[in-house]
């Protein structure tokens, strides 16, 4: 059995032989100065309420004054109370190790910390008072034969006047002494459990924090991918493409210099043709990585260029107040490129339309066609790839494609603007 807290240690048969009773007692003792200091601070902020209660008790206040005192107390407690709870939570994170060995990840919520501070100065003192009363009662019962010599001992309706009368109570008290470490551990464990419930980051908060970190890491990955893509494009354009252009020129000059019909003429001509074809393919590859028109002129011009390359009429309408960030431009461009390619291959459409606009901090891109419809994310790996690309940019993709058409793909990309 893992003894990770005072409460779990209670289930061990060796509880009294462990350090948990002493750790629990240390936790309770060190709680007292914290209660006093926190109560003094919060009591200072709640001074208007204290004044209000005293005036209500004497009947020397009117409705307006009562309202002002109530509001003043609420403002002071709500505004300054969390300032007291913040260092208290940090201290409790370390002190709770006396009663609970588990790691405590402090919740960022100031109201949960403030709630613990209120608990510490209201319910905890009452519980500690009950514990102290029970412990004192047990000790008095155990020592009653000796204490009775100083005078009768009264327990409400029970009065012990002689040592002989005290013997049964002393026996009960001695037996009850064994329960004192357990009572201390129960109280300390309950206090620690309540503190952990209020101060520990809950599963929902932890999940939100993890989602925030995932979103940030995804944004960093998207930026890194975009930077790497630009580097590859630059290396291909400035390196491989330039060398291939030089090779093509040299082969062209060699072709001119060689006499027609010579043994080397045909191979050189073939190599020259293949070099030109390879240069065209490389140019298309570079264009596919990031089109130059997108880099130079932005998304509207790039979308019009895409429309011109599509084998059907495509209407393009853009309404953008400024250029979106590079990664949003690239995502929107490649989504439209893939969508128009799918329209040309599968839809049987006679016409398509592309629209890009800014809408409430969002870059909205829509691609519509008048084809046969029936597009399905479950069956289309290309559409799944589009959705994944959009998700990387923290956006979402919507698809409407009933049988018989029309089909519309709508992409929404977050575009925070100052």
What is the pLDDT, as a whole number, of residue 185?
93
What is the pLDDT, as a whole number, of residue 23?
93
What is the pLDDT, as a whole number, of residue 28?
94
Residue 208, pLDDT above cutoff 60: no
**Nearest Cα to 365, choosing from 322, 414, 325?**
414
Antiparallel, parallel or unpaired: β 362-369 and 314-319: unpaired
H or E stretch covering 362: strand 362-369
Average pLDDT, the chain: 79
What is the pLDDT, as a whole number, of residue 227?
60
Query: Where is mean pLDDT largest: 14-28, 157-171, 229-243, 340-354?
Result: 14-28
CATH topology of domain 292-414: Heat Shock Protein 90 (3.30.565)
Domain ranges of the chain: 6-201, 206-289, 292-414
Question: How buried is 279 (Cβ within 10 angstroms: 0-12 exposed, 13-18 middle, 19+ buried)?
Answer: middle
Residue 192, pLDDT above cutoff 80: yes
What mean pLDDT comes out for the span 87-98?
89
What mean pLDDT comes out for the span 122-144?
91
Confidence class of residue 276 from pLDDT cuts 50, 70 and 90? low
- CB distance 134 to 183 below 8 Å: yes
CA angle 154, 163, 159 (to 5 degrees): 20
Q: Per-residue pLDDT tens for 250-272? A: 767 776 766 776 676 677 677 76
Q: Per-residue pLDDT tens for 277-288? A: 766 665 655 555
Cα–Cα distance between 94 and 88 in angstroms, integer? Answer: 10
Question: How buried is 63 (Cβ within 10 angstroms: 0-12 exposed, 13-18 middle, 19+ buried)?
Answer: exposed
The least confident of 31-40, 176-185, 295-304, 384-393 is 384-393
What is the pLDDT, as a whole number, of residue 385?
73
């Amino acid at each position: 059995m893992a003894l990770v807290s005072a409460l779990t240690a209670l289930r061990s048969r060796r509880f009294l032989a462990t350090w948990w009773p002493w750790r629990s007692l240390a936790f309770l003792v060190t709680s007292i100065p914290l209660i006093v200091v926190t109560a003094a601070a919060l009591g200072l902020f709640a001074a208007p309420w204290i004044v209000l209660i005293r005036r209500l008790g004497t009947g020397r206040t009117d409705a307006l004054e009562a309202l002002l005192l109530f509001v003043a107390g609420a403002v002071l407690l709500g505004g300054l109370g969390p300032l007291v709870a913040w260092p208290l939570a940090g201290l409790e994170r370390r002190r709770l190790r006396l009663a609970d060995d588990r790691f405590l990840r402090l919740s960022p919520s100031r109201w949960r910390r403030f709630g613990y501070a209120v608990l510490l100065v209201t319910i905890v003192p009452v519980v500690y008072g009950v514990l102290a009363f029970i412990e004192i009662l047990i000790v008095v019962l155990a020592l009653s034969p000796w204490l009775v010599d100083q005078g009768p001992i009264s327990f409400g309706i029970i009065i012990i006047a002689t040592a002989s009368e005290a013997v049964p109570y002393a026996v009960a008290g001695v037996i009850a002494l064994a329960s004192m470490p357990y009572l201390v551990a129960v109280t300390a464990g309950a206090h620690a459990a309540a503190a952990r419930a209020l101060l520990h980051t809950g599963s929902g908060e932890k999940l939100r924090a993890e989602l925030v970190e995932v979103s940030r890491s995804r944004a960093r990955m998207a930026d890194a991918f975009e930077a790497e893509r630009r580097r590859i494009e630059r290396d291909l354009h400035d390196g491989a493409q330039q060398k291939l252009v030089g090779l093509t020129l040299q082969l062209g000059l060699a072709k001119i210099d060689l006499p027609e019909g010579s043994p080397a003429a045909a191979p050189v001509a073939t190599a020259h043709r293949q070099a030109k074809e390879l240069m065209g393919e490389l140019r298309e590859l570079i264009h596919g990585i990031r089109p130059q028109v997108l880099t130079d002129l932005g998304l509207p011009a790039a979308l019009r260029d895409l429309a011109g390359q599509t084998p059907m009429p495509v209407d393009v309408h853009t309404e953008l107040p400024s250029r979106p960030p590079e990664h949003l431009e690239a995502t929107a461009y490649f989504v439209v490129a893939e969508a128009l390619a799918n329209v040309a291959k599968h839809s049987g459409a006679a016409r398509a339309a592309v629209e890009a606009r800014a809408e409430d901090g969002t870059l909205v891109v829509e691609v519509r066609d008048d084809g046969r419809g029936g597009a399905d994310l479950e069956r289309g790996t290309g559409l799944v790839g589009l959705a994944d690309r959009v998700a990387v940019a923290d956006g979402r993709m919507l698809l409407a494609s009933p049988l018989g058409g029309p089909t519309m793909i709508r992409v929404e990309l977050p575009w925070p603007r100052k």
